[in-house]
Amino acid sequence: MEMPGSAQLSRTVLLRIRSVLPALRPSERAVADLVLSDPSRAASMSIGDLAEECGTSTTSVVRFYKKVGYGGYAALRLDLARETARESAAHDVPAEVYEDINTADSLEDIVSKIAFNETMSIADTAQVLDVEQLARAVSAVSGSRKTDIFGVGAGGLVGQDMQQKLHRIGLTSFSWCDPHAASASAALQDADGVAVAISHSGATLDTIDFLKTAKSAGATTIAITNHADSPLGRAAGIVLSTAARETPFRPGAMGSRIAQMMIVDCLFVGVAQHSHDASIAALQKTHAAVQDRKLWRANP
Amino acid sequence: MEMPGSAQLSRTVLLRIRSVLPALRPSERAVADLVLSDPSRAASMSIGDLAEECGTSTTSVVRFYKKVGYGGYAALRLDLARETARESAAHDVPAEVYEDINTADSLEDIVSKIAFNETMSIADTAQVLDVEQLARAVSAVSGSRKTDIFGVGAGGLVGQDMQQKLHRIGLTSFSWCDPHAASASAALQDADGVAVAISHSGATLDTIDFLKTAKSAGATTIAITNHADSPLGRAAGIVLSTAARETPFRPGAMGSRIAQMMIVDCLFVGVAQHSHDASIAALQKTHAAVQDRKLWRANP
DNA sequence: AGTGCCATGAAAAAGCCTTTCAATGGGGGC
DNA sequence: GCCCCCATTGAAAGGCTTTTTCATGGCACT
């Protein structure tokens, strides 16, 4: 586990904690819950007090912050303080938007809560996105002979979106709906190919199978997931992490899907830029082909 | 000397330090100078390091913070961290994000530009969205016997997303890819049905045909478009406008797609809330069905 | 039942913060 | 000039916090 200085981390303490939640043991999880529920207070507690309040030992608190990526308790404390100071500084955001959507909400409330949630998912994801990993993903996809993409549910749509985009700049890619077809295509991969697996949880069996099959076949593997520590994340050569804020009322996983799309957009623009001339030419062709189906010309 | 909780103090650490400057002995003064010149760094130093860097002893540092009004070194550290976080939070958004993406951009630039563009598309759309129209759309879809959805390209994916969501709460809906199939289904609509057309430009012929066909058949028609004045917008009974910021380099129409999805999310949550009990039950069933395909349980 | 692994906390070790106390040195009174 | 006093300072001891080590108990798999 890396030991980053708190400078880069400070804005993402809470996000990081959220992202490692699944990898935490129950006693560590208790610590995480308390920290997430009141980061400001947690910052002002000693490691002993924190442990006691969570009904666990200082050892578990240590294990907790190590997993989150900190080398010492002081560093975590400082970042918690910084983060909460920042949040409270942004007091122009109405408090209610943090809450979950409920039956009493008016449509106005719903709109602002959704807008807030999705906005934060994008902002947070941009924050935590590892540019190094993105760069590797960009060059892998750019040089790929064939790119297989697989995700189920909402992830499947994101996959289709990616496939559409890559197709428009002349790259060969496939977005599979059927897990068996996906794995079959993955099995035919080789060192020149890329496999992209999309899963919020990182725990979907079909998606993991797909990625592992592609890996055995020698392909470069990319995972887009909220949980870098998940089975999917661990299996992938390159991990692009989202940082979606999921609310309890989360049908369709709105935040995660938006975050995934945002990552796909970044990846795509990176790839398009990587091979700029060819991409522009291809885009112009596809654009022209679509214009024939239009009544009038929209936009500047 | 009083021992104030850091809550009241936190916003004024630096001011307080300045105000006690005259009362400080030379060695304490050295500490104060260093803290004032770089509070953020001071916050991350241990009392020993701080003393050493000032060419003095830890004792003097203790005397310093006592005079400033702190009961312990940890409290000072936290307030310094909070204070500097607040200051840096203000000037955070780099100006370049407004610009278009170009070949000279680094991946970091691309990520922030995309994040900014998508964030603004959501915020603007939330602003522009006519809640009155949304309310009409919600009740139309809630009471619909069958909902036909059609969009091409990126709009098609948004349509699929909507179909998936409605399906999960037990509503009958269809997302068509093929324009002829879409129009065929639209022709079979009646007054109890709804047709949703998704098009950024509002000028796509196939989409307009689809909506008009549904209208003739008596269905309630909803358009999701960036241009309420477009042929599609004028043809529709209910218009939900997006406010996407399209950049010139706009392959895949990233902003418009995000904005469309955001509208679909609002519409969906509105519909789900409208028939809350039934929706929750349906969602729980679909959620349970999906859990079987997971290795481990992510998140709360 | 036996075996091995994992999660956990107790306790030792290390480190950091706080307090005590003695040394230093400068100034004023004798 | 000499001595005393006191302000200032840091060394070191003491105490508390953090970190590491290691033993225990439970659980799953044989």
Chain B residue at shortest CA distance from A290: B204
Nucleotides of D under 7 A from a protein CB: 7-12, 16-21
C-alpha–C-alpha distance, residues A142 and A270, integer Å:
9
A298 within domain boundaries: no
Q: Are residues B81 and B23 in the same domain?
A: yes
Chain B residue at shortest CA distance from A245: B299
C-alpha–C-alpha distance, residues A192 and A148, integer Å:
12
Q: Buried b vs exposed e over A124-149: b needs ≥16 C-beta within 10 Å?
A: bbbebbeeebbbbbbebbbebebbbb
Work out the pLDDT band at A272, boundaries 50, 70, 90. confident
Asked if B31 CB < 7 A from strand D, the reply is no
**Taking a C-beta distance cutoff of 8 angstroms, is the pair B73, B48 a contact?**
no
Mean pLDDT of A96-123: 74
CB neighbour list of residue B284: distance below 8 Å, 6 or more residues apart? none
Query: Residue A130 has which token pair?
Result: 């590892």
Chain Cα centroid distance, residue A68: 16
Residues of chain A in contact with residue B79, where contact means CB-CB under 8 angstroms, are: 81
Query: Residue B80 has which token pair?
Result: 């310094």
Could you say which of A101, A126, A273 has the minimum Cβ distance to residue B112?
A: A126
pLDDT digits (tens, 9 = 90+) for B65-91: 999 889 999 999 999 998 887 666 544
Asked if B44 CB < 7 A from strand C, the reply is no
H/E run at residue A157: helix A154-168
Work out the pLDDT band at B228, boundaries 50, 70, 90. confident
What integer pLDDT is reported at residue A3 of this predicted model? Answer: 36
Query: Residue B8 has which token pair?
Result: 């009241």
CA distances from B281 to A84, A148, B275 (A): 37, 35, 10
Q: What is the dihedral of CA B1, B4, B10, B12, to 10 degrees?
A: -40
Interface probe with A: pick from B11, B166, B269, B291, most Cβ of A within 10 Å: B269
Contact (CB<8Å) A43/B78:
yes
pLDDT digits (tens, 9 = 90+) for B175-192: 998 889 999 999 999 899
**Residue whose CA lies closest to nucleotide D12 C1':** B59
CB within 7 A of strand C (chain B, 131-190): none
Strands B194-198 and B238-241: unpaired
Nearest to A9 by CA among A62, A111, A107, A78: A78
The CATH code of the domain that includes A13 is: 1.10.10.10
C-alpha–C-alpha distance, residues B174 and B182, integer Å:
9
Q: Are residues A191 and A270 in the same domain?
A: yes
Chain A residue at shortest CA distance from B74: A44
Chain mean pLDDT for chain A: 82
A189 within domain boundaries: yes
Q: Are residues B115 and B254 in the same domain?
A: yes
CB neighbour list of residue B155: distance below 8 Å, 6 or more residues apart? B198, B199, B200, B204, B207, B224, B257, B260
A99 within domain boundaries: no
Q: Are residues B249 and B220 in the same domain?
A: yes
Contact (CB<8Å) A262/B114:
yes
A98 within domain boundaries: no
Least confident stretch, A132-141, A251-260, B111-120: A251-260
Chain B residue at shortest CA distance from A271: B107
C-alpha–C-alpha distance, residues A141 and A280, integer Å:
17
Q: Which domain does B115 fall in, by range?
A: 107-291
Task: Find the nucleotide nearest A74 (Cα to C1′).
Answer: D18
Q: Are residues B231 and B113 in the same domain?
A: yes
Nearest to B159 by CA among B150, B168, B167, B147: B150
Is B225 a residue whose pLDDT tops 80? yes
B198 within domain boundaries: yes
Residue the block writes with tokens 């069933």: B285
A101 within domain boundaries: no
- Bridge partners of A148, per DSSP, are A174, A195
Q: Are residues B181 and B62 in the same domain?
A: no
CB neighbour list of residue A38: distance below 8 Å, 6 or more residues apart? none
Asked if A58 CB < 7 A from strand D, the reply is yes
C-alpha–C-alpha distance, residues B33 and B207, integer Å:
68
Alpha helices in chain B (DSSP H): 6-9, 13-20, 26-37, 39-43, 47-53, 58-68, 73-90, 107-128, 131-142, 154-168, 179-187, 205-216, 231-235, 254-274, 276-291
Q: Are residues B57 and B134 in the same domain?
A: no
The CATH code of the domain that includes B156 is: 3.40.50.10490
Q: To the nearest whole percent, how much of chain A has pLDDT over 70? A: 79
Note the CA–C1' distance, B217 to C21, in angstroms.
Answer: 97
CB neighbour list of residue A172: distance below 8 Å, 6 or more residues apart? A144, A145, A146, A147, A166
Asked if B44 CB < 7 A from strand D, the reply is no
Asked if B56 CB < 7 A from strand D, the reply is yes
Q: B156 vs chain A: nearest CA distance in angstroms?
A: 10
B243 within domain boundaries: yes
The last residue of a domain, from among B23, B55, B90: B90
Residues of chain A in contact with residue B279, where contact means CB-CB under 8 angstroms, are: 251
Residue the block writes with tokens 């790839």: A271
DSSP-assigned letter for residue B228? T
Torsion sign over Cα B118, A97, A245, B140: negative
| Residues counted in chain B | 300
User: Which pTM value belongs to this model?
Assistant: 0.70
**Taking a C-beta distance cutoff of 8 angstroms, is the pair B224, B263 a contact?**
yes
B95 within domain boundaries: no
Nearest to B147 by CA among B51, B219, B84, B212: B219
Q: Are residues A80 and A140 in the same domain?
A: no
Note the CA–C1' distance, B299 to D20, in angstroms.
Answer: 30
Q: Phi and psi dihedrals of B146, rounded to 5? A: -150, 135
The last residue of a domain, from among B55, B90, B125: B90
Q: Are residues A51 and A170 in the same domain?
A: no
The last residue of a domain, from among B28, B62, B90: B90
What integer pLDDT is reported at residue A136 of this predicted model? Answer: 96
CB neighbour list of residue B8: distance below 8 Å, 6 or more residues apart? none
**Taking a C-beta distance cutoff of 8 angstroms, is the pair A276, A169 a contact?**
no
Could you say which of B10, B161, B298 has the minimum Cβ distance to residue A202?
A: B298
Largest CA distance in chain B: 89
Q: Are residues A21 and A85 in the same domain?
A: yes
Work out the pLDDT band at A77, boundaries 50, 70, 90. very high
Q: Are residues A71 and A211 in the same domain?
A: no
**Residue whose CA lies closest to nucleotide C6 C1':** A25
CA distances from A248 to A98, A214, B21 (A): 12, 34, 51
Q: To the nearest whole percent, how much of chain B has pLDDT over 90? A: 46
What integer pLDDT is reported at residue A126 of this predicted model? Answer: 86
Task: Find the nucleotide nearest B60 (Cα to C1′).
Answer: D9
Rounded to 10°, the helix B107-128/B254-274 angle is 40
Chain mean pLDDT for chain B: 81
pLDDT digits (tens, 9 = 90+) for B108-142: 888 888 887 888 788 888 877 899 999 999 999 99
Contact (CB<8Å) B131/A108:
yes
Task: Find the nucleotide nearest A55 (Cα to C1′).
Answer: C9
Q: B234 vs chain A: nearest CA distance in angstroms?
A: 13
pLDDT digits (tens, 9 = 90+) for A173-190: 999 989 999 999 999 999
Could you say which of A160, A272, A273 has the minimum Cβ distance to residue B157?
A: A160
Could you say which of B103, B108, B122 has the minimum Cβ distance to residue A131?
A: B108
The count of structural domains within chain A is 2
C-alpha–C-alpha distance, residues A207 and A232, integer Å:
8
Q: Are residues B114 and B260 in the same domain?
A: yes
Contact (CB<8Å) A118/B265:
yes
The secondary structure of B238-261 as a DSSP string is EEEE------SS-TT-HHHHHHHH
- What number of C-beta contacts closer than 8 Å exist between A and B? 246
Is B275 a residue whose pLDDT tops 80? no
Contact (CB<8Å) B10/A85:
yes
Residues of chain B in contact with residue A276, where contact means CB-CB under 8 angstroms, are: 103
- Bridge partners of A238, per DSSP, are A222
